Structure 1
């Protein structure tokens, strides 16, 4: 077998194993188009056969904690730019159909992207003008009113 044939065979085998994992876990094929997919394949190739993959515990514990810390640090870095760039504060309500709990999510949109700020459980709260003022005052105070250039909310509420 030629070197070209061996490379083609190895690539096919890699594709088959990745495919089986995608099919088994119902991962959308578009996941290969994220900026995170090529580096994972490269890291696996560099690690070689002696490195064991992370366990479910590691992925849901220490590795997840590291990723959360990285995202928090990135958001803090972005917040330092908000006085110069401003943000669009966005909110959207939704209902968890299983638990019947209502939530309002708050996000900040700015030139580098969108960041989740917080989610408020508004279950059982009377949805009147005072409710909206209290809810939005709270998030505006957390963000800083001088940073907000516009505010976008859904008009449906948390349903």
Structure 2
């Protein structure tokens, strides 16, 4: 035992056992006498993992994030990146998330869409549509998507609320969409 260690033990032994944590009247677990043997590395890691799980859970609960979001493809890499960056990393601010980081993602999606469109002459595409009604505003929308072996992409959404929806309407609408996409690519 080196000299500094005995000084620390002496100081800790003089501290009150009921010192408060951040103004609360709970006992500080680091100041209370150990009730058992020193924790193993495996036990510490288990406790750290539990702490991580609880804070992630609190964030999900507080923001009403669907639990299935943990199964999305970007969740595990996010956690892995936080682990790799390590202690001291600051999370992105609301400004960064809504500004520069969002702009970067928009640019990445635009590049993907351009690459996706470049594959149309080789693979052709299937035009798909889906209609839905906004029950609050009573508006009807028709969404158009295109499918190819490379993936599915949103094309456009049309407000069809105040239109007579007959065969002629749908033929004109689909013709317009096919023309925008290039009729030689649609199968």
TM, length-normalised to structure 2? 0.73
Q: Which runs of 5+ in 1 are unaligned?
A: 150-159
Q: CA RMSD in A?
A: 1.5
Structure number with the higher strand fraction is 1
Q: Determine if the alignment matches structure 1 residue 9 to structure 2 residue 47.
A: yes
Q: Which has the higher contact order (CA 8 A, sep 6+)?
A: 1
Q: Which runs of 5+ in 2 are unaligned?
A: 1-38
Distance in structure 2 (CA, Å) of the matches to 1:50 and 1:4:
23
Q: Determine if the alignment matches structure 1 residue 119 to structure 2 residue 157.
A: yes
Q: Secondary structure at the match of 1:146?
A: coil
Give the alignment partner of residue 111 of structure 2, picking from 73, 81, 86.
Answer: 73
Distance in structure 2 (CA, Å) of the matches to 1:7 and 1:61:
36
Distance in structure 2 (CA, Å) of the matches to 1:95 and 1:69:
31
Q: Offset at 1:126?
A: 1.8
Distance in structure 1 (CA, Å) of the matches to 2:87 and 2:160:
50
TM alignment of 1:1-159, pairs within 5 A: 1-149=39-187
Count residues in correspondence: 149
**Structure of larger gyration radius:** 2
Distance in structure 2 (CA, Å) of the matches to 1:33 and 1:97:
29
Q: Offset at 1:55?
A: 2.3
- 1:153 is matched with which residue? none
